[in-house]
C-alpha cells in the first residue's frame, strides 16, 4: 500500500473497539490530497476487534490496551501519543470512557462520532431507542470529547429520516453512510477552525 507523505498534515490517532468501518473511511480520507490529517496510530481495547485488520491493510502502527487498569493504560497511551506527535484523536466506535485526567493531559483535540442527534440518545442502543420512541428523525453527531458521556460541544450533525418500515439494521446502515460523510468534514472544521 502506498502511503501519502503529508508533511504538513496533523498527526492523528484513531481509537476503536469493533468493526472499524469509520476507521477505514478516515484512513481513505487521510490518503487524499486535500486531507489535513495523517493517521499514524490506531488504538484498540480488544485484541480480536475486526477493525484492527486495517492497521495491517494500510500499514499503520497499532497498539492494544485493555483498559483493565485504566489509569495505568492511559499513562502508557499518553506516552505513545507524545512519541508519535499525535495532535488529534478521533474516537470511532471506541467503547471506553476516557478519564478527565487523560483529556486534560492530552496535548491536542479529541473528537467522537455518535449515532444519534445529540443531545438526544447518549450512550448505547441509539437506533433501538429512536425507533421505540417513534422518532421521525435520527442521525449522527461529531462532537468534542469532555469528561461526560457524549456531552461535549457539537461540531457537526446530520439528520436522517426514519421510515415507517425501518429496522435497527436498516437505520444503522443509513446513518453509517452519513457518518462517513460528516466525520471527515468535522475534522476539517476542527483543524481549519471553521
Ligand atoms: C458507529 O455507529 C459510531 O457512530 C459509534 O459506533 C459505531 C462504530 O462503527 N460510535 P464502526 O466500528 O466504525 O463500523
Tens-of-pLDDT digits for all 194 residues of the chain?
Answer: 445 556 689 999 999 999 999 999 999 999 999 899 999 999 999 999 999 999 999 999 999 999 999 999 999 999 999 999 999 999 999 999 999 999 999 999 999 999 999 999 999 999 999 999 999 999 999 999 998 999 999 999 999 999 999 999 999 999 999 999 999 999 999 999 76
Tell me how far apart the terminal alpha carbons of the chain are, to the nearest angstrom: 32
Burial of 12 (C-beta count, 10 Å sphere; 0-12/13-18/19+): buried
Using an 8 Å Cβ cutoff, are 99 and 91 in contact? no
CB atoms near residue 158 (< 10 Å): 16
| Element of type H or E holding 158 | strand 154-161
Which positions ≥6 away from 133 have C-beta within 8 Å?
none
Probe residue for ligand 1, chosen from 176, 184, 186 as the CB with the greatest number of ligand atoms within 8 Å:
176
- In angstroms, the CA 180 to CA 176 distance is 6
**Which pLDDT belongs to residue 2?**
45
**Which pLDDT belongs to residue 194?**
61
92 CA from centroid of ligand 1 (Å)? 6
CB atoms near residue 190 (< 10 Å): 20
**Which pLDDT belongs to residue 6?**
61
Probe residue for ligand 1, chosen from 44, 92, 110, 171 as the CB with the greatest number of ligand atoms within 8 Å:
92
Residue 51 alpha carbon, nearest atom of ligand 1: 12
**What residues act catalytically?**
114
Using an 8 Å Cβ cutoff, are 22 and 42 in contact? no
Residue having the nearest C-alpha atom to atom 14 of ligand 1: 21
Would you say the CB of residue 18 lies under 6 angstroms from ligand 1? yes
Would you say the CB of residue 139 lies under 6 angstroms from ligand 1? no
- In angstroms, the CA 15 to CA 42 distance is 6
Cα angle 130, 95, 171 (rounded to 5 degrees) comes to: 30
Would you say the CB of residue 157 lies under 6 angstroms from ligand 1? no
Would you say the CB of residue 152 lies under 6 angstroms from ligand 1? no
> Which residue bears the cell 502511503?
3
Residue having the nearest C-alpha atom to atom 7 of ligand 1: 93
Amino acid at each position: 500500500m502506498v502511503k501519502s507523505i503529508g508533511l504538513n498534515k496533523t498527526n492523528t490517532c484513531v481509537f476503536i473497539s469493533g468493526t472499524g468501518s469509520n476507521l477505514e473511511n478516515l484512513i481513505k480520507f487521510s490518503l487524499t490530497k486535500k486531507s489535513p490529517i495523517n493517521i499514524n496510530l490506531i488504538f484498540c481495547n480488544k485484541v480480536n476487534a475486526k477493525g484492527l485488520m486495517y492497521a495491517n491493510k494500510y500499514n499503520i502502527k497499532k497498539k492494544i490496551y485493555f483498559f483493565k487498569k485504566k489509569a495505568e493504560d492511559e499513562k502508557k497511551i499518553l506516552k505513545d501519543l507524545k512519541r508519535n506527535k499525535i495532535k488529534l484523536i478521533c474516537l470511532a466506535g471506541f467503547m471506553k470512557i476516557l478519564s478527565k485526567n487523560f483529556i486534560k493531559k492530552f496535548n491536542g483535540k479529541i473528537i467522537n462520532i455518535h449515532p444519534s442527534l445529540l443531545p438526544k440518545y447518549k450512550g448505547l442502543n441509539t437506533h433501538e431507542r429512536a425507533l421505540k420512541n417513534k422518532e421521525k428523525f435520527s442521525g449522527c453527531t461529531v462532537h468534542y470529547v469532555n469528561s461526560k458521556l457524549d456531552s461535549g460541544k457539537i461540531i457537526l450533525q446530520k439528520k436522517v429520516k426514519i421510515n415507517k418500515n425501518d429496522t435497527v439494521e436498516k437505520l444503522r446502515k443509513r446513518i453509517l453512510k452519513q457518518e462517513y460523510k460528516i466525520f471527515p468534514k468535522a475534522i476539517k472544521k476542527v483543524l481549519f477552525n471553521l
